[in-house]
Amino acid sequence: MLRRIASSLTLVATMTFGLLALPRPVVGQTFDLLIEGGSVLDGTGSPAFRADVGVRDGVVVSVGDLSGADATRVINAAGLFVSPGFIDMHSHADRALYAGNAFLRSAPNLVAQGITTLVFGPDGRNPTWPLSDEIAGYRSEGTGPNVVPMVGHGTVRGLVMGDDYERHATESEIAQMAAHVREGMEQGAWGLGAGPEYRPGRFSTTEEIIALGHVVADYDGFYYSHQRSQSPLPLWLTPSIVEEYTPPPTWPSGWRLTATDGMAETIRIGRETGIRVVGTHIKAKGPTTWGQSAIDVMAIDRARAQGVQVYLDQYPYETFGGGSVEVIPKWYYAPPGTDRSGGLDDPDWNRAELRRDPIGSLRAHMADPVLHDEMIADIEFILDLQGGADRHVIVVSPRDPSLVGRTLADLAEERGESPVQTVIHLALEWGTPQLRSGVRFRGIAGSPEDVERYMVQEYTATSTDGGVVVDPGAGRHPRYYGTYPHKIATYVR
Ligand SMILES: [Zn+2]
């Protein structure tokens, strides 16, 4: 079985391969590369030790006192730490590495963080199928970092159910999905990636995922999940939609899914399949969810004590979301009266004709007393979910750059109005019409206590939830560039 996609190795990456066998140093050895005088952190959790590292043909062949050796290239690492390359447990770089040009495939913003291995299948998706085609795409031109291919749960669900996915799968459909998972595992996948908070996965039952997890177990693979909910409500719901939403019978508690339910599902999948399971890019979003880390840690510790192999990964920030926070729910794109029962993630909301006149549409909604109140309630919910008005920082304001860096609460106070009124004012009058909210916000939705409590658990790995970017663009989450340096500088050092 394919276990590693060959790649142009970086220096740190080479250490990943050779550490298991450490030949004793012999005076007179020659290496292609000698990293000398550093403190080696070998990735096993052991304390750093002073050693030289010798590399030959892209493989670490010797670690120890290599003072008598010759090398084509020598790097003096005195005063520095030398470590294996970092593994990014949740990467959206798959499309860039599958089909990008040489520059994108080198993944400069990731490699510069010390990342040398990327886990794909994020949120249950693959850039193409069958998996052998995806792997062939990586192989054809090569990739900068190493690649861990995964079968996406959403991918196989979409293959089997097509557009008719807003329901439970039948036994026969689950069997077909299982066959696709087996095919992917045979072709080199390491396991199953899932995103049951997204379409089409959010219409699945836990039993469906467990059935697929049993296939993964045959290959000693693992499961990782963007969990079914990370907040008081899944991200596709706001209070006004809850009102008219008819939940499909996908979950014992219907739509009322919390972050606790999301974690409990991941643990159950691990318990019933015996495979390693990972709650990926774990977070506690919004003040009403703050403290969730204590609940999660308690649940995980208990499960692990019972032998369930539960893990987490995390990016080390209190702000979430790759781009900017949309504080106005996009149901206002559509004319008043449009059916909202599909949720905020309904593909219908993305139709181009709905986006032609968003300001006119927002005005029409605000003029209708019922829709006005629903819109206000939804915006208040989103502002709170994203940390509160005092934690919404304006990061882009093309029309009035002096707003950049100010918080929504600050602006609202200055104007003598509520934060929601300021949101509406920015969208309708003050901001840039091309931006849905007139400006771009970054919400600081996490608490430092949760970030640290998740981080210090021995079973928590690091991930970027980022991808390859060439131009960061204002509003971009810093995790794309800063995840590993920030973690080391701020939390380790
Ligand atoms: Zn995700």
Gap from CA of 123 to ligand 1 centroid (Å): 5
Gap from CA of 420 to ligand 1 centroid (Å): 28
* 102 close to 96: Cβ distance less than 8 angstroms: no
Reduce the DSSP state of residue 473 to 3 states and report it.
coil
Cα distances from 216 to residues 2, 164, 283, 308, in angstroms, run: 15, 25, 26, 16
Which residue is associated with the tokens 């926070």? 325
What confidence tens digit (pLDDT) does each residue in 219-272 have? 999 999 999 999 988 988 888 887 666 555 555 555 578 899 999 999 999 999
Gap from CA of 224 to ligand 1 centroid (Å): 10
Tell me the pLDDT band of 3, cut-offs 50, 70 and 90.
very low
Mean pLDDT of 400-416: 95
Gap from CA of 90 to ligand 1 centroid (Å): 8
**pLDDT at position 253, please?**
53
Cα distances from 222 to residues 68, 121, 132, 193, in angstroms, run: 44, 12, 19, 8
Rounded CA separation 389/231 (Å)? 18
Task: Tell me the range of 203-207, 427-431, 460-464 where mean pLDDT is highest.
Answer: 460-464
What confidence tens digit (pLDDT) does each residue in 7-41 have? 333 333 333 433 444 555 555 789 999 999 999 99
- DSSP of 411-461: HHHHHTS-HHHHHHHIIIIIS-TTSTTSSEEEE----HHHHHHHHTSTTEE
Gap from CA of 195 to ligand 1 centroid (Å): 7
Mean pLDDT (the chain) is: 90
Gap from CA of 24 to ligand 1 centroid (Å): 44
Gap from CA of 75 to ligand 1 centroid (Å): 38
**pLDDT at position 24, please?**
53
Gap from CA of 281 to ligand 1 centroid (Å): 7
**pLDDT at position 323, please?**
80
Gap from CA of 118 to ligand 1 centroid (Å): 15
What confidence tens digit (pLDDT) does each residue in 71-112 have? 999 999 999 999 999 999 999 999 999 999 999 999 999 999
96 φ/ψ angles, rounded to the nearest 5 degrees? -65, -40
Gap from CA of 445 to ligand 1 centroid (Å): 16
Gap from CA of 91 to ligand 1 centroid (Å): 9
What confidence tens digit (pLDDT) does each residue in 290-349 have? 999 999 999 999 999 999 999 999 999 999 988 888 899 988 878 888 888 888 888 888
Indicate whether this model's pTM tops 0.75: yes
**pLDDT at position 12, please?**
38
Q: How far is CA 304 from the centre of its chain?
A: 23
The terminus-to-terminus CA distance of the chain in angstroms comes to 39
Looking at 27-99, list the stretches that DSSP marks H as alpha helix, in order from N- to C-terminal side.
94-99
Among 452, 422, 410, smallest CA distance to 297 is for: 452
Residues 6+ apart with CB under 8 A from 367: none
Residues 6+ apart with CB under 8 A from 139: 5, 6
* Amino acid (one-letter) located at 307: G
Gap from CA of 194 to ligand 1 centroid (Å): 9
